[in-house]
Every structure is written in C-alpha cells, then in structure tokens.
Amino acid sequence: FAGMSVRHNLELGRLKRREGAGVAWSDAKILEFFPRLRARLDTPADFLSGGEQQMVAVARALSGHVRVLLLDEPFEGLAPTVVEELFEAFDRLRQELSIVIVEHNLDLVLALADQAYVLERGSVVHQGPAAALRDDLELRRRVLWM
C-alpha cells in the first residue's frame, strides 16, 4: 500500500484474481463507485487522505473479483463528508455483491444493512433484520444494553 500509486494498488488486487470467482470489476467500473480516485491514479496512496486511502483499500479488494467484501470499521476517524461519500458508495455496492461490515457506528451500519448480527465476546447474541434493530428502541436496549 505505502509507496504504491492508486493504479498499482488496483493492479495488486488483480494478482490474486480468480476468473469466475465473483463479480468482474474493471478499473472503470470501480472508479464509478470512487470517482475521486480517478484524478489520483498516479498518486502514491500514502499521500492521500484517510478517506481516500479507505477508498483505495476497497477498490483494491474489488479488483480481485471478490464475492464478499469484508469491511472492518470503514468509517472510523473519517471526516463527515468522506463518511457520507463512502456510505453512498457502499449503498450502491451492496446491489452488486455481499458486504459484511464490522462497525461501532450502529445507526450508520444499520442504514446499510439488510441483516444484523450482534456479537458479545465472540458469540452471536442477536441476529435478525437490520430494520428491527434500527427501528425498535426497546429491542436495541435489550440487545445492546443501552
């Protein structure tokens, strides 16, 4: 990642690509989701903002023709405008492939999710439709001990 351009990061993702393994992602298709990166293709990734680096990480994963995108705290430490940009990209991406998000910002992730799983000490303590956890304050209190 560090020292590599955005373009080289996309190429790195393709090294592990297995044809027929998942959704076929061209660079052009990836850049439709992250248009901000188009002007930065030759910029070293470590010169980018934290949000742009997050976009590069997701773009690199997509270039590998993944079936499932795993995201760990994708919004952590990012400016609100970048969070909104990533949220919109993830909302569109979820129409293309499955996404698993581990996130502490509950309202944000529940707005994206179809299903929600709550873990406590490595065990699933709740699973069900995200809308139920998003909309039912009593359920949220019970499950999350708010």
Instruction: State pLDDT tens for residues 21-37.
Output: 667 789 999 999 999 99
Contact between 4 and 45 under an 8 Å Cβ cutoff? The reply is yes
Spell out the residues 6+ positions from residue 118 whose beta carbon is closer than 8 angstroms to its own: 124, 125, 126, 127, 133, 143, 144
What mean pLDDT do residues 91-95 have? 96
Give 10's strand partners.
Answer: none
Instruction: State pLDDT tens for residues 34-74.
Output: 999 999 999 999 999 999 999 999 999 999 888 899 999 99
**What is the reported pTM?**
0.88
All structural domains of the chain with their residue ranges: 6-104, 114-146
Closest CA to 52 of 66, 32, 38: 38
Q: What is the CATH number of domain 6-104?
A: 3.40.50.300
